[in-house]
Amino acid sequence: MTTQFKVCNCNRTMPLDAAAGARLGAALGGAALPVATELCRREAGNYLNAIEGVDDVVIACTQERGLFSELAQQKQSVAPLRFVNIRETGGWGAQSKESLPKMAALLAAAALPDPEPVPVVNYESQGQVLIIGAADHVLPWAKRLGSQLDVSVLLTGGGTSEILQDRSYPTFSGDRVAVTGWLGAFKVTWQQANPIDLETCTRCMACIDACPENAIDLTYQIDLDKCKAHRDCVAACGSIGAIDFMRQATERSGEYDLVFDLSEMPLIALHQSPQGYFAPGRDHQRQMDDALQLAQMVGQFEKPKFFLYKEKLCAHGRNGKIGCNACIDICSAEAISHNGNHVKVNPNLCAGCGACTTVCPSGAMGYAYPRTTDMGLRFKTLLGTYAKAGGRQAALLIHSNEQGSALIDQAGRLSRTGGKGIPARVIPVNVHHTASTGIDLWLAAIAYGAANVAVLVTGEEAPQYLSALREQMSIAQTILSGLGYAGTHFHMVNAKTAHELEMALHSLQSGQAPAQRATFNVGAEKRGTLDFAIEHLLKFAPARQDEIALPAGALYGAVSVNKDKCTLCMSCVGACPESALMDNSNLPQLRFVEKNCVQCGLCEKTCPESAIALMPRLLLTDAAKQPIVLNEAQPYHCIRCDKPFGTLQMIDNMVAKLSLHGAFSGNIDRIRMCSDCRVVDMMENKHEALITDMKRPH
């Protein structure tokens, strides 16, 4: 199956003509591409002819996506359509005449096969919404939403101007509210703080009439600061029993599909709130926007399952000791939790940022939207086509689908009125979230020929994501600088306006790329991809050295062992999740394979003698793949059968520590025996004791 490309110079506002079409076709490995002038208007027939078959059709226009899709629907076309923006991303701007290699790269990437579908996470909502907050804010929204959703109300104090009228919806009051869950499965708990139970109250106003202090308002709640405890209201309420100053059971709870939190401060204080939870605060415009979304959230919904978790690779914990906690610490949705020696990800809470995969040292946590292999192929295609079309010093700009794309579009349009637009060498790469790519893909991009990898952040990211990106960029840059590649290759571009974006991009200085582009493909395993990338970068390194010191928290390194403290108990071997630390079945030796180490710290935390320390570094010689001996000793021989077991230092330490303990002082020699002889010695002692007992007169 072939791909047809439909390219338009947008009424001659882009430097695309027949000669440019020939260059584009050559870069894409085919014939010259015809360049239209008004593809969305008088030349629409060319587009209609292209979609008659079943071949993929790539349309180099996103502005008229709706029109082209509608025309295809009217024609009942089955041709798969793909859209790519070459106008705002490069066709417009101060360097538009040099942007043809970038256009070719974007067209080639758009023609790639669709990634395999990922599993989905399902939600179901019946429209049961709980509105939480002060009466003055909650009750008006309850009236507006009541005709569209199944409304319940939780009043949390404050506001007296609204009148609680007929019982149109369940109404509660309380404080110490807690919200957990997600769309279709929220659980809300609160404490019934007011003597009046609004669900029992009939709104008869007898209590209001009876109260001598006017402590009860038309929300049917008692102002306890005014109340003098006459209890006239209790008597007036009578057998209805809605008022109880001595109420014991104050815990309340309910389950809801949606939560509309109008509290001044959100009850869920997370950067990424669960789906179905809206907390606009006092911002009226946000309240309006969120209410519109709430009204549409009835039915069945699905989202991608963004992550892949490979438990066998996880370095989180062993034997109750916690080592790597990177994914738990960084998750802004609190979707990742401790699960024994491993971690557990709640797919309903996961928002798909991918930051957990970026900081995971072992690759146990992988991103699936798209998978790393798909993103690697995209990088390789973009950079390979760019170079084939004559482009130099390519810079990948990783940006979010929403705010990032909007800023790029704005910068492109403003270039028509005096702005600079996007530089010709900067190739935008849209992703679901900017935290979803990490050191493996970045170094692979440099190996493929990129001079820079920049990540655009716009203020929508959680603070811990920015810190993680900086740390990972520092590690990646340290590796490249250690190999002698000149310049700065990795950048975090902070921009909230189109002007800030174009200024930052035009000031980027190119880093040095390898003399030859790599040909490997990004694999599913993070460490494998890093091995390929570093091997290629080392092969063409301007300066070779045996090792590179890395910052703390790096995913490569060695361990040092204090031989004076180490007793070769091998606790570290049992704790190591990556088989970096090993014993020797024939000799008391502690061995280490540096290539396997992910610097999780489990060995350091497990060692009972505090004899181990981490040494972050990247060893570039073959020694990284070979087992080395960190500590060894002559074996201790059993005092009974002379069988070697343990080490002299370990046995001496055990004897010294246990000889004064009452449970061992009488049998201390058993510590100097092998396991078999200990059993024999115990049985012999029991036998002798039994015979002695039998000889005693009874």
pLDDT in tens, 13-31: 999 999 999 999 999 999 9
Amino acid 110: pLDDT: 97
* Residues 326, 359 contacting (CB under 8 angstroms): yes
Long-range contacts, 108-112 (Cβ 8 Å, 24+): 108/27, 108/28, 108/381, 108/382, 108/384, 108/385, 109/84, 109/378, 109/381, 109/382, 109/385, 110/58, 110/82, 110/83, 110/84, 111/3, 111/5, 111/28, 111/56, 111/58, 111/82, 112/377, 112/378, 112/381
From residue 666, alpha-carbon distances to 642, 654, 691 in Å are 22, 15, 20
Q: What is the pLDDT, as a whole number, of residue 590? A: 96
What's the pLDDT score for residue 647?
74
Strands of the 251-256 sheet, one edge to the other: 175-180, 186-191, 251-256
Q: Which stretches of 320-402 are DSSP H helices?
A: 326-330, 355-359, 372-388
Assign 266 to helix, strand or coil. Answer: coil
What are the tokens at 627? 């087992």
In contact, 86 and 60? CB cutoff 8 Å = yes
| Helices first, then strands: H and E counts in the chain | 20, 32
630: nearest Cα among 579, 556, 547, 566: 566
Q: What is the pLDDT of residues 472-506, one digit of tens each?
A: 999 999 999 999 999 999 999 999 999 999 999 99
Statement: residue 654 has pLDDT above 90: no
For residue 318, pLDDT over 70 is answered with yes
**pLDDT over 80 at 381, yes or no:** yes
Least reliable range by pLDDT among 39-43, 633-637, 685-689: 685-689
pLDDT tier, 695 (very low <50, low <70, confident <90, very high otherwise): low
Token pair of 440 as six digits:
């493996």
| Average pLDDT value for residue range 207-215 | 93
Q: What is the percentage of the chain residues whose pLDDT exceeds 70?
A: 98
Q: Which residues pair with 613 in a beta bridge?
A: 560
CA distances for 422 relative to 341, 387, 415, angstroms = 47, 18, 8
In this predicted model, what pLDDT tens digit does every residue of 130-184 receive, in sequence order? Answer: 999 999 999 999 999 999 999 999 999 877 677 887 778 999 999 999 999 999 9
Please answer whether residues 609 and 590 qualify as being in contact, where contact means their C-beta atoms are separated by less than 8 angstroms.
no
Q: 596-630 pLDDT, tens per residue? A: 999 999 999 999 999 999 999 999 999 999 999 99
Look at residue 134 in the predicted model and tell me its pLDDT: 92
pLDDT band of residue 698 (cuts 50, 70, 90) is: low
Asked if the model's pLDDT at residue 650 lies above 90, the reply is: no
* pLDDT score recorded for residue 637: 84
CB 454 within 8 A of CB 425: no
Residue 671, pLDDT score: 84
pLDDT digits (tens, 9 = 90+) for 504-533: 999 999 999 999 999 999 999 999 999 999
Residue range 184-213: average pLDDT? 93
State how far the Cα of 620 lies from the Cα of 618, in Å rounded to an integer: 6
Phi, psi of 351 (to 5 degrees): -100, 0
pLDDT digits (tens, 9 = 90+) for 81-137: 999 999 999 999 999 999 999 999 999 999 999 999 999 999 999 999 999 999 999
Question: pLDDT tens digits for 418-475?
Answer: 999 999 999 999 999 999 999 999 999 999 999 999 999 999 899 999 999 999 999 9
Distance CA 229, CA 222 (A): 11
What pLDDT band is residue 537 in, cutting at 50, 70 and 90? very high
Q: Using alpha carbons, select from 180, 562, 504, 200 the residue that is nearest to residue 333.
A: 180
Task: Report the percentage of the chain scoring pLDDT > 90.
Answer: 83
Cβ atoms within 10 A of the Cβ of 274, count? 22
pLDDT at 633 over 90: no
Q: How high is the pLDDT of residue 69?
A: 97
Question: What percent of the residues of the chain are helix, what percent strand, and what percent coil, each to the nearest 5?
Answer: 35, 20, 45
pTM of the entire structure? Answer: 0.88
